[in-house]
Amino acid sequence: MLILYAILILCLLLASIYDVRIKKIPNWLSLALMVSGLIGNYFAIKGLSLGDSSGGIITGLLLMLPGYVFGSMGAGDVKLMAAIGSVVGFTQIVDVVIYSYLLMFVLAVLFVIIKGDLIRLLRRYQMLLYGLFSGIASYQKPDSSEAAGQRVPLAPTIALATCYVLYPKICNLGFMVTLCRF
């Protein structure tokens, strides 16, 4: 399992670097992680079952798909989460997705604040709420010049959330024992 977690962390690091630099997560990286997760869990002594690994893929994909459909994340982020699901399985992928969404929200708010577009964003949502209550719902999509209209690399938040969820499990396997005792 340690080797599988090391592969996972290495792939997450590479995905984060690619996402920050070129704003894309390569398909080969997600596919390699997914295949490693399925095969590694199948042959590991304390690994997950093939069903649990496959369930993690499907759950990760389905929980992240709405973000892609509504345009708040790219397809690479969805595929990366599905690949993570192959390693951590059905039970832990839900935690990874929840913590990822929380970190993404914090990152997006910080990004909007740093770019100085918070007031424009709040006005847009004020108009949306007013329209909903008055029966004339309308939403203005943000311009590409606004912070809300720009793409923010999400692979680093996915990596942080995954490491946060896996930290206790890695400590129980004896990896990084000195770090875990603090």
Q: Identify whether 145 is part of a domain.
A: no
Host domain of residue 45: 2-116+155-180
Q: Identify whether 132 is part of a domain.
A: no
Q: Which residues of 48-78 are buried (b: 16+ CB within 10 A; e: fewer)?
A: beeebbbbbbebbbebbeebbeeebbbebbb
State the burial class of residue 142 (Cβ atoms within 10 Å of its Cβ: 0-12, 13-18, 19+).
middle
Q: Which residues of 126-139 are buried (b: 16+ CB within 10 A; e: fewer)?
A: eeeeeeeeeeeeee
Q: Identify whether 94 is part of a domain.
A: yes
Six-digit token pair at 123?
């006005």
Six-digit token pair at 83?
């690949």
Of the candidate ranges 5-9, 59-63, 126-130, the one whose mean pLDDT is the lowest: 126-130
Q: Identify whether 18 is part of a domain.
A: yes
Q: Identify whether 159 is part of a domain.
A: yes
Number of domain units in the chain: 1
pLDDT for res 1: 76
pLDDT tens track for 58-115:
999 999 999 999 888 999 999 999 999 999 999 999 999 999 999 999 998 898 899 8
pLDDT for res 22: 95
Q: Identify whether 99 is part of a domain.
A: yes
Q: Identify whether 144 is part of a domain.
A: no
Q: Identify whether 122 is part of a domain.
A: no
pLDDT for res 62: 97
pTM for the predicted model, two decimal places: 0.84
Mean pLDDT over 117-145 rounds to 79
